[in-house]
Amino acid sequence: MTSSLNSKRRSFLKAASGTGLLAIGGSALSQSFEFKPNQRYPDPAVLILDPSFAKYRIYSSTVEQLGTGMRWAEGPAYFPNATPGKPGYLLLSDIPNNRLMKFDEATNKFSVHKENVNYANGNTRDRQGRLVSCEHSVTRRVVRTEKDGRMTVLADRFKGKRLNAPNDVVVKSDDSIWFTDPLFGINGEWEGQRAKPEQDTTNVYRIGKDGQITAVVRDLVNPNGLAFSPDEKKLYVVEWKGTPHRSIWSFDVNDDGTVGNKTKLIDADGPGALDGFRVDRDGNLWCGWGFTGAFQPEATDVGGGMRAHLPLGKSEEFDGVKVFDKDGKPIGFIRLPERCANLTFGGPKRNRLYMASSHSLYALYVEAHGAV
């Protein structure tokens, strides 16, 4: 029996090392998950909810697992190669483990990029190719990593008070930086350190080229993911604690950096969980999707003399990426074995969808291209 178990373990280790699963350190195996891609084309994990999505599905492309071993994957940001057409790399956050991970397209290696990153959550690349990160606990600030490795603090206070927990961040073509500031990073000990908020509201902020910080949206409860439309005339923001459901709100972006005309674009409509998202060149919104964890108000007999409040839905029916057109109509869905928190477009042609999903990083080539 022992020999058989050891043989199986060696087989698993051999397979894992070939996919970069062991590259992230000794603790990886306890959080690693095997994944078997679909063998047949088209991949049944890619669902066409509306015929308009068919043109974005590649018939002979399948969902791949690029690495695993994280506790909560978030905030992917793609960095292209300086030589056009050559492989680049992806950085993403593993928040509870307080580290940034890296996937190298040239080597297919998945590894630890940097540790002790103040529980960084959202990341992005600015127009000069530098990493901008939201440290959503302890320091509670937005920082930029310069080309020489130095750290520049872009925002840590508003009107003299500490920020809540910077969450997601985007950079506009005018080099202004926009970020959300909910409470998640200071609500408990899992993704940082518990602390009392100093801000009266949970805002969306804009950092101008002059460094001035303004609150452009002040009436959303725990704003989360955000992105611009391809022409940057619209700002989209997830309201994590929306009523009655999680939502994406659309705002008109004015020339002076203010926003207006708040309109609900997408309603999660039940126990669906919106988180991070990206927009393609056609204006479609590719949204990280999952189950909220909501449970039934009445307890059910589950045996053993116990009664439990069962979930209102099944995670396996929600986990993945849901795609909406620019008018908020659902058109496609990519099923994943884990909840997808955030995603981005990458690859030399910007047509590879990278999906940061709970313990693992997944990818799928599509006939869509990231708008930024």
CB neighbour list of residue 115: distance below 8 Å, 6 or more residues apart: 98, 99, 100
* Distance from C-alpha of 73 to C-alpha of 103, rounded to nearest angstrom: 13
330-344 residue pLDDT tens = 999 999 999 999 999
Residues of the chain above pLDDT 70, percent:
92
Q: Point out the least confidently predicted range of 27-31, 48-52, 322-326, 360-364.
A: 27-31
Beta-bridge partner residues of 207: 177, 213
pLDDT above 60: residue 153 = yes
Average pLDDT on 58-87 reads: 97
* Distance from C-alpha of 189 to C-alpha of 110, rounded to nearest angstrom: 27
Q: What are phi and psi of 324, to 5 degrees?
A: -120, 145
296-333 residue pLDDT tens = 999 999 999 999 999 999 999 999 999 999 999 999 99
CB neighbour list of residue 287: distance below 8 Å, 6 or more residues apart: 225, 248, 266, 274, 275, 276, 277, 321, 322, 323, 324
Q: pTM of the predicted model, to two decimals?
A: 0.92
pLDDT grade for 269, boundaries at 50, 70 and 90: confident
For the chain, helix, strand, coil in percent to 5 are 10, 45, 45
CB neighbour list of residue 266: distance below 8 Å, 6 or more residues apart: 247, 248, 274, 285, 287, 324, 328
pLDDT above 60: residue 7 = no
- Select from 207, 204, 246 the least CA-distant residue to 226: 204
SS3 120: strand
